[in-house]
Amino acid sequence: MRSPRLGGPSRRDRARGLRARRENAKTRRALRGKPASPSGARPCFFARTRSVGCNPQGARAPAARTDPVRRTAGKGTPVNFVRLGRVRFLAIFLSLWASVVVGRLAELQIAEGSHYRARAQRQQERRIEVSPLRGSIFDREGRPLAVSVEASSVYAICDEVRNPAAAARVLARHLDQPEAAILARLTAKKGFVWLARKVDRGAATALAAEKIPGVHFVTETKRSYPKGSLAANVIGYVGTDDKGLGGLEHFYDSTIRGKPGEIVALTDARRSTYGQAEAPSGKPPEEGASLFTSLDSGIQFAEDAHAKSGVAILLDPSDGAILAMASAPSFDPNDYGRSPGEDRRNRAIADAYEPGSTFKIVTGSLALENSLVTLDELIDTGNGTIRVGNTTISEHDRKQYGSLTLAGIFEHSSNVGIIRVGLRLGPGRLWQGATALGVGRATEIDLPGEHAGIFRRPERWSGLSNAMISMGQEVSVTPLQLARIGAAIANGGRLVQPRLVRRIVHPDGRVDVIVPSPPRRVLSEATARTVRDLLVGVVERGTGKKAAIPGFVVAGKTGTAQKAGVGGYQRGRYVSSFVGFAPSDNPKIVGLVLIEEPRGARYYGGDIAAPVFARVVSQALGILRVGPEEQRLPETLLASTSTEKIHYPEGIIPASVHSTVEPSAGPLLRPVEPPSAATPDGIPSAIGLSARQALALLARNGLAAQFEGSGFVVAQDPAPGARVRTGSICLLRLAEPAAAPEAPGKESRDRRAEELASPPPAP
């Protein structure tokens, strides 16, 4: 018998194992041949294993025989197969579990990693949009009409504000807000809160000096309109979120707005802000493109000064470029919230009116184009009335003109005469021709909110419609549509597309030139030339005499229409208008003036709108440097001069007139010049006046104005007292008044800083 210390089992152990294996084999053979144990018998758990612990009948085996079956492995070490099976099962299970976990981790990290990283980042960050620098808007000479300037916006991290009550008290003083409202915002929630957007530079500087804990600043852009209400209804305005809300600002919003940037604030699990981080993309705001318009600031100033309640439009008849467009009453886009919505509406394109007698241009042009009337034909207007169906229509002034030519009809603005001409056209040709001239069709100008007017198809006309439309009733047009018709007469019969923006300049230097639709011929040149001559007669001999401009031949037509309302025309409420152009032989400007509900006993277009047209167009011609036309005089006037008082449309002013006159041989061509002196003391002083006040002062003295800068007049050229010719341009330099905010002293600032840094007292 070998000792166990020699490394192998003893002879006794080998014998015992052999016996156990034999007995176990017998047990298995017995179990294979026997049925399941009877009911109630306890089954043997290790019946099919190599261990011995129970007998075939399910009874518990003797304790000495419960050891598992062992066998030698390697050098004879006994192996427990039950434990080995359990270990293998556990290892396989753990391996599978680990594979699943590792696979899922790999899926989360690789396949879905970017998604969950973005979600985590969104939970940790709060993004605050920062407005980009909005593109500027300039007039035709490059003078700014709308610009963007840097402004500071104030926000607070509420968790960092140590003394909300003291902070609210200081903030209210600098931000001009109620203290209670600021305190409510500081205490209503934790984290980020806006306190004020786009505050003035002075207020922001003074507030920053207070060094309030938890109050921070971010630089944004603020829209500024250097010329105030000048062309405000055309330019539009911008809201707090830097979105265009009207005019060019809205129409070209996507072009001039640029692309916003952002700041990123870090937040904790409770969404409380505890700091700032840079935007992950690192992409700053992108500046928007700038617009260069066809507007002329000088002409617009003149137009705004004379537009009290209504519309004034000046455009270039050759290409439809808008030189000026005024709508009154207007508003200041720098503070648009103080103005009612009615003042912000651009009446030149958004409102439609019955044109009245100005529509006689359309009727007369179509009759000439269709050869339905000749210039020497006499048209009987009878006793000043005409009966159409069951309705009698009379002249506007109850006068009787007898027989009139087409020129006489235009000059006297005869309703009966133009109705007889319009009835020759008939509904079909009248509707088709007027539609070709743009009646009832939007002009497609680059402005939002344009009204197309109202012009029904002939199928919907009544028996009276042909007559009423011929004299400008039962049809409505916008002022811009009417000015466009005037341009078609001025340029030889071509319908132009009105436009405001001439080119778009991008920040990278790219330039997009805006090319409008090519003009469309709607009348022959012969017809347009004939109508132009008829309109000259209206100003020289007819109802438009007050539209005359010294030194120029003006063509135009007056109009007076009763305002339509619910249930019919409104008694005592009129719209006075005048549309015309100058110089008549080579028109440079087409103008329309419309005065809504003029006050006083006189309400006719020739009395109300025509004088305004003359003043506005006269100054515009001077600004555009269009000289007076030449006229042939029957004789040369050679004489000594002396200063006398003569009557001039703006009042009595001194002028050099001839005291002795001697005829000379032969005619002489020379320009006709207006009186040579502006006032008894020369040019009046405009120093210290606002732009509007200075313009009105110069306009009353027959002078035009050209402005540089914004604010109040600080210098003028020629100097006050200089004697110049009427219609001359006076250059006015404007500047804002200097006003520096008084900064708090150092001691007071330190004392406030201590107060703000200290926590509030315990309740």
Residues tagged active-site: 357
Q: Are 266 and 277 in contact (CB under 8 A)?
A: yes
Tell me the two tokens of residue 280.
């992950």
**Beta strands per DSSP E along 340-451:** 379-380, 385-388, 391-394, 403-404
**CA 164, CA 157: separation in Å to the nearest integer?**
11
Q: What is the DSSP letter of 432?
A: H
- What is the pairing mode between strands 192-199 and 144-157? antiparallel
Q: Is the dihedral of CA 333, 339, 343, 344 positive or negative?
A: positive
**CA 549, CA 649: separation in Å to the nearest integer?**
10
**Angle, alpha carbons 397-399-405 (nearest 5°):** 110
**CA 270, CA 290: separation in Å to the nearest integer?**
44
3-state class of 9 per DSSP?
coil
**CA 356, CA 638: separation in Å to the nearest integer?**
47
CA 265, distance to chain mean position in Å, is 30
Dump the DSSP string for 540-579: HHSTTGGG-BTTB--EEEEEEEEEEETTEEEEEEEEEEEE
CA 217, distance to chain mean position in Å, is 27
Q: What is the DSSP letter of 339?
A: S
For residues 584-621, one letter each, b for 16 or more C-beta atoms within 10 angstroms of the residue's C-beta and e for the rest, the string is: beebbbbbbbbbbebeeeebbbbbbbbbbbbbbbbbbb
Tell me the two tokens of residue 486.
């005037």
Q: Are 405 and 457 in contact (CB under 8 A)?
A: no
**CA 652, CA 646: separation in Å to the nearest integer?**
6
How many DSSP H helices and E strands does the chain contain?
20, 32
Residues β-bridged to residue 129: 262
How far is residue 342 from each of residues 233, 302, 312, 345, 375, measured CA to CA in Å? 11, 23, 17, 5, 45
Residues β-bridged to residue 150: 221
State the distance between the two ends of the chain, measured CA to CA, in whole angstroms: 96
Q: Are 704 and 698 in contact (CB under 8 A)?
A: yes
**CA 610, CA 558: separation in Å to the nearest integer?**
7
Q: Are 636 and 668 in contact (CB under 8 A)?
A: yes
Q: Are 351 and 450 in contact (CB under 8 A)?
A: no
List CB contacts of 725: < 8 A, sequence separation 6 or more.
673, 674, 675, 676, 678
**CA 437, CA 279: separation in Å to the nearest integer?**
55
CA 223, distance to chain mean position in Å, is 12
Tell me the two tokens of residue 520.
């469309």
- What is the pairing mode between strands 729-735 and 704-708? parallel
Tell me the two tokens of residue 560.
């007076």
